[in-house]
């Protein structure tokens, strides 16, 4: 056998022998040949031909991609997302009804730009006007609704700005209900993503309107300007916009399985470009990220000691489900750290905060949630309370902290 091995070695070149040595070294040092691992490769986020853009998960609020996301820009007809939001809010509160007949003023009738083609002096069902805003991007319909709800368009624009502040849209100000150019009428990609997420979350019964592909009024059928509704079965909204000042803009909402992404593209060069750039964002997000519920509400995450109570322990839970959006191959890198109050003394109130969960990924804090008592714990009898208080007193003197 020894002679056979020596014969084989004599036939190998010096370079071949060196290659074998390097191969064996790599296997021993790294456990596998480079490139044969199972980890998913993670490319850099796409660079879009647009002034500003952002991609986030609508459920967790995780921003996956952003560029100039806080730059104030004119939103054009993306403004109508807030117009629709206000109308949906008023419908939900019951202050207006879908079958209300809304009078059309001269101002609404004469409003320039994209139109629903309503006529001055007529009355239009509120539900039809809302479709005219969302599907046909009708400026005339937007003004008619604004006047019906707030008296005039300026007052309605004030409502829009107030609502924006309540939602946390810090860099947004509205001057009208249409998105027609006006000094100081600005928003940002980040603010629009907040608005779009709130619309999906708060008004699920009205959100279906944003997926409708066409609407007919006054014998005129107009298609939804969101072309992605025809080319991507996962896209079910939301709104397009275009003016010379704003360029071509698109806010899109797309859902695959249980993951919903919101993309915002502002200032693209053409109608086709805004759709292509949006597709790049959505494809990147769905391909390389996932949203997962890690902990359910009321699921015990820690059992803490209770002093002077009828029960010696209490389960600490989350008040709400905890979901995170992370790269697809990094779930095993998640780290959860639980901090519990040093001394929990009865009475323990159900729902009261007694600890904290810190969730991190590769050193970055992903989520921080309060841990609350899952059940109440009543105080124990007199002698148990006295004994436990004595123990706590002695522990304090001795410097015990746990």
Q: At what angle do helices 153-167 and 79-93 cross, to 10 degrees?
A: 90
Number of domains within the chain: 3
The answer as to whether 45 is a domain residue is no
Say if residue 157 is in the same domain as residue 227.
Answer: yes
Say if residue 242 is in the same domain as residue 204.
Answer: yes
pLDDT at 147: 98
The answer as to whether 357 is a domain residue is yes
The answer as to whether 262 is a domain residue is yes
Q: Which domain holds residue 31?
A: 1-37
pLDDT at 40: 66
Catalytic-residue membership of 77: yes
Say if residue 156 is in the same domain as residue 27.
Answer: no
Say if residue 108 is in the same domain as residue 222.
Answer: yes
Q: How far, in Å, CA of 52 to CA of 63, rounded?
A: 14
Q: What is the mean pLDDT of each run of 10 residues along the chain (402 residues)?
A: 38 37 34 44 93 98 98 98 98 98 98 97 98 98 98 98 98 98 98 98 97 97 97 97 98 96 98 98 98 95 96 97 94 94 95 97 93 96 90 81 55
Using CA atoms, how far residue 356 sits from 10, 359, 371, in Å, is 67, 10, 5
Q: Which two tokens stand for residue 261?
A: 């992404």
Say if residue 192 is in the same domain as residue 264.
Answer: yes
Say if residue 320 is in the same domain as residue 363.
Answer: yes
Q: Exactly one of 52, 105, 137, 253 is catalytic; name it.
A: 137
Q: Exactly one of 51, 52, 62, 77 is catalytic; name it.
A: 77
Q: Which of 239, 263, 289 is the last residue of a domain?
A: 289
Q: Which residues pair with 63 in a beta bridge?
A: 56
Say if residue 282 is in the same domain as residue 320.
Answer: no
Q: How far, in Å, CA of 242 to CA of 244, rounded?
A: 7
Say if residue 166 is in the same domain as residue 62.
Answer: yes
Catalytic-residue membership of 158: no
Say if residue 110 is in the same domain as residue 225.
Answer: yes
Q: Exactly one of 62, 80, 239, 290 is catalytic; name it.
A: 80
Three-state SS letters, 212-259: CCEEEECCEEEECCCCHHHHCCCEEEEEEEEECCCEEEEEEEEEECCE
Q: Which of 264, 289, 314 is the last residue of a domain?
A: 289
Catalytic-residue membership of 80: yes
pLDDT at 395: 81
Q: How far, in Å, CA of 207 to CA of 191, rounded?
A: 19
CATH of the domain at 362: 2.60.410.10
Q: How far, in Å, CA of 70 to CA of 281, rounded?
A: 18
* C-alpha closest to that of 147 among 127, 183, 176: 176
Say if residue 128 is in the same domain as residue 233.
Answer: yes
């Amino acid at each position: 056998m020894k002679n056979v091995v020596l014969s084989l070695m004599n036939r190998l070149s010096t370079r071949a022998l060196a290659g074998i040595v390097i191969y064996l070294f790599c296997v021993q040092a790294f456990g596998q040949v480079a490139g044969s691992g199972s980890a998913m490769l993670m490319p850099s986020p796409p660079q879009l031909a647009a002034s500003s853009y952002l991609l986030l998960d609508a459920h967790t609020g995780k921003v996956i991609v952003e560029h100039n996301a806080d730059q104030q820009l004119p939103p054009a007809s993306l403004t109508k997302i807030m117009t629709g939001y206000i109308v949906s809010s008023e419908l939900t509160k019951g202050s207006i009804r879908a079958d209300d007949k809304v009078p059309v003023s001269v101002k609404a009738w004469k409003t320039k730009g994209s139109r629903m083609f309503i006529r001055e002096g007529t009355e239009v069902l509120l539900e039809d006007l809302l479709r005219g805003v969302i599907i046909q991007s009708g400026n005339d319909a937007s003004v008619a609704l604004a006047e019906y709800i707030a008296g005039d368009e300026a007052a309605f624009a004030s409502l829009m700005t107030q609502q924006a502040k309540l939602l946390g849209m810090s860099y947004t100000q509205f001057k009208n209900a249409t998105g027609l150019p006006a000094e100081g009428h600005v928003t940002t990609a980040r603010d629009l993503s907040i608005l779009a997420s709130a619309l999906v979350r708060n008004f699920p019964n009205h959100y279906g309107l944003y997926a409708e592909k066409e609407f007919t009024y006054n014998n005129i059928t107009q298609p939804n300007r969101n072309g992605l509704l025809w080319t991507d079965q996962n896209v079910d909204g939301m709104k397009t916009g275009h003016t010379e000042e704003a360029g071509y803009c698109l806010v899109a909402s797309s859902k695959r399985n249980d993951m919903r992404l919101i993309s915002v593209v502002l200032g693209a060069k053409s109608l086709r470009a805004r759709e292509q750039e949006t597709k790049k964002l959505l494809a990147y997000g769905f391909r390389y990220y996932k949203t997962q519920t890690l902990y359910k509400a009321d699921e015990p995450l820690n059992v803490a000691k209770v002093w002077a109570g009828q029960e010696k322990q209490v389960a600490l839970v989350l008040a709400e489900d905890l979901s995170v959006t992370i790269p697809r191959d990094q779930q095993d890198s998640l780290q959860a750290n639980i901090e519990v109050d040093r001394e929990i003394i009865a009475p323990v109130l159900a729902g009261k905060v007694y600890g904290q969960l810190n969730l991190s990924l590769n050193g970055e804090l992903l989520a921080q949630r309060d841990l609350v008592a899952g059940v109440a714990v009543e105080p124990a009898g007199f002698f148990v309370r006295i004994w436990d208080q004595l123990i706590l007193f002695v522990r304090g003197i001795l410097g015990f902290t746990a």
